[in-house]
Structure 1
Amino acid sequence: MTVTNLIEKFARLEAEIAQEKGDFTFFALFMREDVPDRWDLIVSAPWVGEDKQGAVDYLVAQIKSRLGKEHLTCLSRIVPADPDHVAVQDLNRAIQVEHGNVEVNDRNFFGLAIKRAHIITSKRPPAPAAR
């Protein structure tokens, strides 16, 4: 499977899940320098909340059912990040994209050396409604 094909499939998955569960503030595939043949799926969304393991389990189930379990083998891990995490907020300010693909190479994100990143969604969460 080509990287382009993989990114397209995960972009479709992200859009479908966002429509069902709510928007992501961040959804990206990172290839770390120390694991050059696998991707980290980094996700951040208000609906993830405190149940990080529940979010990972949900995403694993969605990847299996919508893309096929073979797509899990290209991932080294799924990392849920809090939308308030400083790295997520920094990325939201630097890169704005929704259901697309911004490729970034040879950078440090979340304190990790990233060889290649495909950022599918990066957007600030909406401000809470005024009462």
Structure 2
Amino acid sequence: MHYHFFIVNKIGLIIYDRYYQGTAKLSANDMIRFSSTLNSVHLISAQITPPNLRKTGLKVLNTKTFKLFCYQTTTGVMFCLVSDPNSQDMESLCKKAYQHYSDYVLKNPFYETDQQIRIEGFDQAIDRLFLEKAV
């Protein structure tokens, strides 16, 4: 079951978020605090990674109540998914979401990079992706 999907741009601002399964929405101020904290933890974890490992930053956060998965693209945009702790295959879902982002958002001539994403076709593709996998 997936609870929340969001996209964070390279400077740490949430440019897209979608809630699922009746989860409570965070206020705009809470989302700003959350995204800046997540971005900071991601950057710090990349810096403290031992030298013999690849410095990817925060990738998975496991707790008793949820699992947070972050997929960072080469351009610095992060695709994050919050799901139940037993969720599998979160990386492939985030990669598919990135494909939808490329198809619906980046190819849209009216979209300006790093701005809020408000594209109905993208919303529908994301909903299909996460709601089909949740069943």
TM-score norm. by structure 2 comes to 0.32
* Higher RCO (Cα < 8 Å, 6 or more apart): 1
Specify which structure has the higher proportion of strand. Answer: 1
